Chain A
Amino acid sequence: MHPIRSRDQLSPNVWRLVVEAPRIAEIRQPGQFVIVRRGPGAERIPLTIADADPDAGTISLVIQAIGKSTTDLVELEPGAAITDVAGPLGQPTELIASGHAVCVGGGVGTAVVYPIAQELHRRGVRVTSITGGRSREWVMLERELGEAGEVLVCTDDGSYGRHGFVTQALEDVLAAGDVDAVYAVGPVPMMRAVAEMTRPLGVHTVASLNAIMVDGTGMCGGCRVSIGGETKYACVDGPEFDAHQVDFGMLADRLATYRSFESEAMERRGPCRIGLRKPTAAAATETVVAS
């Protein structure tokens, strides 16, 4: 059992759970993930380890409540426990050792690039983080990213930071011509757009692929992705790959496998009980500052 130490809301549908998992907290590396099963009967779902505190024996999981399983998870109150947390799984991020790195996070993907930015900064790499959301309340982890370097915030509606998509901000950063690597995590269209932007420039670009998984150890093959025309398993070969080699069309397609099932399951379940507590723009900032 893995008790939940704390929970806070990062955006209207994204929560952060700090969960007891001492062994994983001790050995995890940026880019790795865990498979979580809330309890008997629940689905196994992969979640990136957003942060870890080896002394406290905890890991942070940032969860976007989009389906039944994720909504069930974020509804767990501090003090309740997750039955199964397995990991750390996947290959750690291959990080550059010096120079200038850009970490691009779209939506909940920001939680995945955060540990990468943190580790790059620790290594002495100059980090520019770009994060974005629909509007101000969807922007998350700005303060945490700020500890690793410069942060550029974008909102689609211009309600906070720069008006526009993260890719537009990236274009400006790339224009300086000193970027050695880009780490991009977010919705498939965002990662694809980033890859297309850096490809002609020859800038090394890494994407983290959120494929569908069951076991996370290579035994089901459900997470197969096409990398440079070769089938790879996101769980054991990834989850991060050279973005210029990724077949994003296939990834998006396979991610849609259970879409109708997911909406039915969500309908049966009913809406998120704590989701009603949508933070206002100001409240969202407070939550982040308070955490």
Chain B
Amino acid sequence: MTDKPAITQKERMQIGRVAMPEQAAELRAVNFREVNLGLTEQLAMLEAERCLQCPKPYCIDGCPVRVNIPQFIVRLREGDMAGAAASLLDDNALPCVTGRVCPQETQCEAVCLRGKKGDSVAIGHLERFVADWAQTHPDALAAARPLSTARTVAIVGSGPAGLTAAGELAKLGHDVTVFEAFHAAGGVLIYGIPEFRLPKDIVQAEVDRLKAAGVKIEPNAIIGKTYTLAELRERFDAVFIAVGAGLPVFMEVPGENLKGVYSANEYLTRVNLMGAWNEGADTPILHGQRVVVVGGGNVAMDSVRTARRLGAAEARIVYRRGHEELPARAEEVHHAEQEGVQFDYLVAPTEVLGDEQGWVRGVRCVRMELGEPDASGRRRPVPVDGSEFEIACDMVVVAIGTRSNPLLTATSVGLEVNQWGYITTDENGMTSIPGVFAGGDIVRGAATVILAMGDGKRAAASIDAWLTGAWPPAVDVPEAAVASAAEA
């Protein structure tokens, strides 16, 4: 605690939102180092002073995992770093991640009172600052291991939902094993989100913290292949399925199987998980010079900015709606623009064109206009007759979404799924099989990291109730008031 004099609310209102220091666009467009450099302690303290400590903090309701935002901010500005970190970690198992990839502008910061008149508190930046401090000061946070309950939980998938549930359940003393199909834990955090947005050593440190808390991780275990769900249910007292929505969606247009056409999943996995961005890496990646990325979500932004860093002279987003409709985080779009990415709005590919050797040479497109709102409430794009044109390119990345992977569900007798293959759950997150819970993208469809984490946290509360005989759970953890439809 410091003994600096308290400042008045009026003085707080005078402080402008601090800017996140970042690598210069021309530099970062050719490297994979993190774009955002993080606030300095001085900047973080200044920003923390902007929080009004509202008696009725809307920001908490705006957060899918209900982080007690005013509490960690007040501890931060009082100089109680360990207290701030403890508060944050108590609510959020992966704060280094969410501090970097959450769409705060549609969640906590969207409902921050200060945003009504000027800029909201930079909650995400402050979260990252405190979380990074915690990661570099593990000794300050040595929490006592809880008493073991001798209850076992299998978690299928080590993405944001699975890791969050693992952290919560371990905290309650349960014996948690996470099964991961890949050779490393993290799910979309390591295969999908690029190094320049979420460094992999940061994710690894979060995973290591969970391991230190007693969570066991079994890699190379594909549930539905290596083990069946029934086997897990037999071996463990409860199971949480958090496998995500892992199957890529393609455009279903001619030419999509040409060489040089990637799903965003494949492109990003090669680059991120397999480290193909390093020169001399064992895993190959095509270095397109003129790259078209189809889609407007965060995955599309990650892909196009990756292509730029891998040497694309021309990297463009082709999106069938307009700038206003882009589902990506505002910061990612802004960063992409700064890095020289071009945006073709109201354009949809109708065919991928190839040369005689079977390589991509371009994309035939049609211009769109926005018609009546569709089921999602967004105006439906309609093709404009006679507006066809070609964009020359040597690589295409399809980033128009993902869907459920039937690998687990198809081999799981009695597990109910809906018409799109997503697992159906009751109000407690339990599937049609007693003791088997599910959450994240495999229940809700492709969404964001933080929504998956919210599901993981709620599922953990339900699972705890199931394991301790307090079933059905008495206290329902409410879903966040504000939810984003943006892609993870």
Q: Which residues of B contact A219 (CB under 8 A)?
A: 246-248, 265, 269, 405
Q: Is B219 an interface residue, CB under 8 A from the partner? A: yes
**A284→B303 CA distance, assembly (Å):** 48
- The proximity string for A residues 250-277 relative to B, scoring 1 for CB distances below 8 Å and 0 otherwise, is 1001101110011001001000000000
A214 B222 Cβ-Cβ under 8 A: no
In chain B, positions 92-119 with a C-beta closer than 8 Å to chain A are none
B183 A86 Cβ-Cβ under 8 A: yes
**A27→B257 CA distance, assembly (Å):** 33
Other-chain contact of B222, A86, A253, A261 (Cβ < 8 Å): A86
- The proximity string for B residues 267-284 relative to A, scoring 1 for CB distances below 8 Å and 0 otherwise, is 001100011000011111
A69 to chain B, nearest CB (A): 6
Q: Is B182 an interface residue, CB under 8 A from the partner? A: yes
Given A44-B274, A215-B269, A218-B407, check contact A87 B263 (CB 8 Å).
no
Other-chain contact of A231, B181, B250, B274, B358 (Cβ < 8 Å): B250
Q: Is the interface of A mostly helix, strand, loop or mixed?
A: mixed
Q: Is A286 an interface residue, CB under 8 A from the partner? A: no
- The proximity string for A residues 15-28 relative to B, scoring 1 for CB distances below 8 Å and 0 otherwise, is 00000000110010
Q: Is A43 an interface residue, CB under 8 A from the partner? A: yes
Q: Which residues of A contact B314 (CB under 8 A)?
A: none
A85 B225 Cβ-Cβ under 8 A: no
Q: Which residues of B contact A44 (CB under 8 A)?
A: 183, 274, 283
A268 B280 Cβ-Cβ under 8 A: yes
A86 B284 Cβ-Cβ under 8 A: no
Q: Is A222 an interface residue, CB under 8 A from the partner? A: yes
Q: Which residues of A contact B338 (CB under 8 A)?
A: none
- The proximity string for A residues 104-140 relative to B, scoring 1 for CB distances below 8 Å and 0 otherwise, is 0000000000000000000000000000000000000
Given A88-B225, A265-B282, check contact A220 B259 (CB 8 Å).
no
Q: Which residues of A contact B405 (CB under 8 A)?
A: 217-219
A20 to chain B, nearest CB (A): 13
B225 A262 Cβ-Cβ under 8 A: no
Given A41-B275, A84-B183, A215-B181, check contact A220 B269 (CB 8 Å).
yes
Given A23-B226, A220-B248, A257-B259, check contact A86 B220 (CB 8 Å).
yes
Q: Is A98 an interface residue, CB under 8 A from the partner? A: no
Count of residues in B whose CB is under 8 Å from the partner chain:
36
Other-chain contact of B284, A24, A84, A89, A261 (Cβ < 8 Å): A261
Q: Is A7 an interface residue, CB under 8 A from the partner? A: no
Q: What residue of chain A has the Cβ atom nearest to residue B287's Cβ?
A: A261
Other-chain contact of A236, B269, B358, B407 (Cβ < 8 Å): B407
B246 A257 Cβ-Cβ under 8 A: no
Given A44-B274, A253-B358, check contact A89 B263 (CB 8 Å).
no
**A256→B357 CA distance, assembly (Å):** 10
Q: Is B286 an interface residue, CB under 8 A from the partner? A: yes
Q: Which residues of A contact B275 (CB under 8 A)?
A: 41
A254 B226 Cβ-Cβ under 8 A: no
Q: Is B266 an interface residue, CB under 8 A from the partner? A: yes
A85 to chain B, nearest CB (A): 7
Q: What residue of chain A has the Cβ atom nearest to residue B228's Cβ?
A: A27
Q: Which residues of B contact A222 (CB under 8 A)?
A: 262-263, 266
Given A42-B282, A231-B257, A265-B284, check contact A214 B274 (CB 8 Å).
yes
Given A217-B246, A253-B358, check contact A68 B225 (CB 8 Å).
no
**A278→B183 CA distance, assembly (Å):** 34
- The proximity string for A residues 78-95 relative to B, scoring 1 for CB distances below 8 Å and 0 otherwise, is 000001111111000000
B102 to chain A, nearest CB (A): 24
Other-chain contact of A87, B225, B257, B281, B286 (Cβ < 8 Å): B225
Q: Is A224 an interface residue, CB under 8 A from the partner? A: yes
Given A86-B226, A89-B222, A261-B284, check contact A224 B257 (CB 8 Å).
yes
A221 B183 Cβ-Cβ under 8 A: no
Q: What residue of chain A has the Cβ atom nearest to residue B252's Cβ?
A: A231
In chain B, positions 191-246 with a C-beta closer than 8 Å to chain A are 219-222, 225-227, 246
- The proximity string for A residues 228-248 relative to B, scoring 1 for CB distances below 8 Å and 0 otherwise, is 000100001000000000000
Q: Which residues of B contact A87 (CB under 8 A)?
A: 222, 225-226
Among B220, B275, B286, B405, chain A packs the most CB atoms within 10 A around the CB of B220
- The proximity string for B residues 395-425 relative to A, scoring 1 for CB distances below 8 Å and 0 otherwise, is 0000000000111000000000000000000
Given A217-B407, A226-B257, A231-B257, check contact A69 B282 (CB 8 Å).
yes
Q: Is A37 an interface residue, CB under 8 A from the partner? A: yes
Given A219-B246, A262-B284, check contact A256 B259 (CB 8 Å).
yes
Q: Which residues of A contact B259 (CB under 8 A)?
A: 253-254, 256-257
Q: Which residues of B contact A253 (CB under 8 A)?
A: 259, 358
**A13→B450 CA distance, assembly (Å):** 49
**A65→B358 CA distance, assembly (Å):** 26
B326 to chain A, nearest CB (A): 24
Q: Which residues of B contact A68 (CB under 8 A)?
A: 282
A85 B220 Cβ-Cβ under 8 A: yes
Other-chain contact of B226, A88, A261, A265 (Cβ < 8 Å): A88
A24 B226 Cβ-Cβ under 8 A: yes
User: 8 A–B contact pairs at CB < 8 A?
Assistant: A84-B220, A215-B182, A215-B269, A217-B246, A218-B247, A218-B405, A218-B406, A256-B358
- Partner-B contacts on A (CB < 8 A): 23-24, 27, 37, 41-44, 68-69, 72, 83-89, 214-215, 217-222, 224, 226, 231, 236, 250, 253-254, 256-258, 261-262, 265, 268
The 3 closest A-B pairs by CB, nearest first: A220-B266, A86-B220, A219-B246
